[in-house]
Structure 1
Amino acid sequence: MPRALTGGTPVCGYGGPVPRYDDDLRLAHVLADSIERTALEMFASPGLEVSVADDGSLTTQAAGTLEELLRHQLQRTRPRDKVQGRILPSTGHGDRRWVIDALDGAANYVRGVPVWATLIALVVEEEPVLGLVAAPSLSRRWWAGHGSGAWTGRTLARATQVRVSDTAVLEHASASADDVASWLFGPHGQGFAQLTDRVWRTRAFGDFWSHALVAEGAADVALGSYLDTFQTSTLSALVREAGGRISDPWGAPVSDRAASGGSPVVVTNGLLHEAVLAALSPTDAAEG
């Protein structure tokens, strides 16, 4: 179990002392505060520079600007920690690693859709122990720290603790998939079609939002077509602390994936996880 090297007081749990990362969590909010005004000012602004990446995705210089600001704050407050960002090269050394995605949902950001966020995670000894999703245009944040529960609200002082739903029947579940075409025409196409036919309803909230909604119990299943370590580090900490489960469609963990790689991700309230995995399996779908 990782040690809380900075701040926090261990509390006793069934398995002994549980390390807390309260000081680091407060810092994560400070980091989000430090870029919020800049992010909102650049959001869908007429002068925003936009380019198309090799894979066809939209990118913007705003992501680099925001990451630089976050790195500056971390250099002042946690100079000994490693920092891994989506845009700039990694810096620092050691077992404590800040993983930052300054602008998740860049395509929404440049098109004026308010579903975008800054994702901040702390990974200690290769385990995500803290995750913060800050979505200024939605006036919401979701966060969690190891042993501190999962929360949502506008600030630390105005927060409500959240937990995943208790939905245990797939036919009663609300599911969200971020890219229907990728699921339908990918290796899980047949299973995905059957899954969406079985659940109560299917929506497409997209990007970080689907997974945050599962963490707060507003949705039961979230399917991400392509998530990498910059997203899963934050979302893993949030979902697990809320009582949910996250894996790839084959049930394998997602926290150890390479920074440059991404793959489909399944997030559920835990109770539905095995049923969702079974429904997505082409073999099981063909047999059932």
Structure 2
Amino acid sequence: MTDSAAGPNLADDLALALAIAADADLIAIDRYRAQDLDVRFKPDRTQVTDADRRIERLVRERLAAARPDDAILGEELGGDSAPGAPRRQWIVDPIDGTSNFVRGVPDWGLLLALVVDGVPMLGVASAPALERRWWAASGHGAWVREAKGEPRRIRVSGIDALAEASLSYNSLKGWDEAGRLDQLVALGRAVGRTRAYGDLWSYLLVAEGAVDVAGEFDLKPWDTAALVPILREAGGTATTASGGDDVLTDGSLLVSNGLLHAAVLRLIAP
């Protein structure tokens, strides 16, 4: 199959991304809970480890060899073009949830995306401590593999009433700093269940149909680019917290099973 919108065959791009994720997982799980883990603080006071840096270098080396004409943007080593540029661009977060990684919480993982003409077309999320890997490419469906089992296709839930919905909001502080705490409280009162699973897992649980709504603020392109194709291919809706399409650079992300999206936006959109 040739995917004209993406240039090279998108299925081949996905196979490449999955192979890279498998190698990245080996580095990550080897350094997880390591006694000699090198942890430093970046200027924004977020943490970075030797595992983050090693994984991003691996991803860049593999992509440079296999897709030398593509641009790359990464959390730790920057990039040679901005998101939305009219070209193929890979976006990588070597360890989403580094603070969890450092503290021994298993909710963390690689996020790797391919963006074409500003549109996220392919996403891989791999969480080796949870023994799960999720992936999707436009027109190819959304999938998960647990432990050493067979891949299975995933789909968002069919919940169509807020009173029956499950919400993951990531953190109270994030909503408060965005000036949306009152809206979160209103949404929390409207839904049937609230939790803060956090980081990549919130969104992937929506894609699996286990959670119905998730959202947060203060996000970067590498936090969102890989998740959006997985959500959309699973039948969900992904927008900014105001309902816009600029999910790469707005700094916010709201995802749902689609059936609840309009109702959620009525409660949280400014």
TM-score by length of 2: 0.92
Matched, 1:74 2:63: yes
Show the counterpart of 2:53. Answer: 64
Q: Give the alignment's Cα RMSD to 1 decimal.
A: 2.1
User: How far does the alpha carbon of each residue in 1:25-64 deviate from its partner, in whole angstroms, 9 at most, with x for none?
Assistant: 1111100112211111111211111122333322223211
Query: What aligned pairs does 1:130-169 form with structure 2 within 5 A after superposition?
Result: 130-154=122-146, 158-169=150-161
Show the counterpart of 1:278. Answer: 266
User: How far does the alpha carbon of each residue in 1:134-153 deviate from its partner, in whole angstroms, 9 at most, with x for none?
Assistant: 11110101111010011111
User: How far does the alpha carbon of each residue in 1:195-221 deviate from its partner, in whole angstroms, 9 at most, with x for none?
Assistant: 111211101110000000101111000
Q: Is contact 1:95–1:125 with CA below 8 Å preserved after alignment?
A: yes
- Counterpart code for 2:173: A
Distance in 2 of aligned mates of 1:243 and 1:2: 22
- Counterpart code for 1:166: G
Identity in percent:
38
Distance in 1 of aligned mates of 2:72 and 2:177: 36
- Count of residue pairs brought into register by the alignment: 265
Which of 95, 102, 120 matches 1:110?
102
Which of 32, 38, 44 matches 2:21?
32
Show the counterpart of 2:198. Answer: 206
**Which 5+ residue runs of structure 2 have no aligned equivalent?**
none
Distance in 1 of aligned mates of 2:27 and 2:248: 32
Query: What aligned pairs does 1:243-254 form with structure 2 within 5 A after superposition?
Result: 243-254=235-246
TM-score by length of 1: 0.86
Distance in 1 of aligned mates of 2:12 and 2:215: 32
Which one has the largest radius of gyration?
Answer: 1
**Which 5+ residue runs of structure 1 have no aligned equivalent?**
8-20, 283-288
User: How far does the alpha carbon of each residue in 1:4-42 deviate from its partner, in whole angstroms, 9 at most, with x for none?
Assistant: 3222xxxxxxxxxxxxx1111111110011221111111
Distance in 2 of aligned mates of 1:47 and 1:279: 46
Show the counterpart of 1:10. Answer: none
Show the counterpart of 1:217. Answer: 209
Q: Is contact 1:191–1:280 with CA below 8 Å preserved after alignment?
A: yes
Q: Is contact 1:140–1:154 with CA below 8 Å preserved after alignment?
A: yes
- Counterpart code for 1:144: A
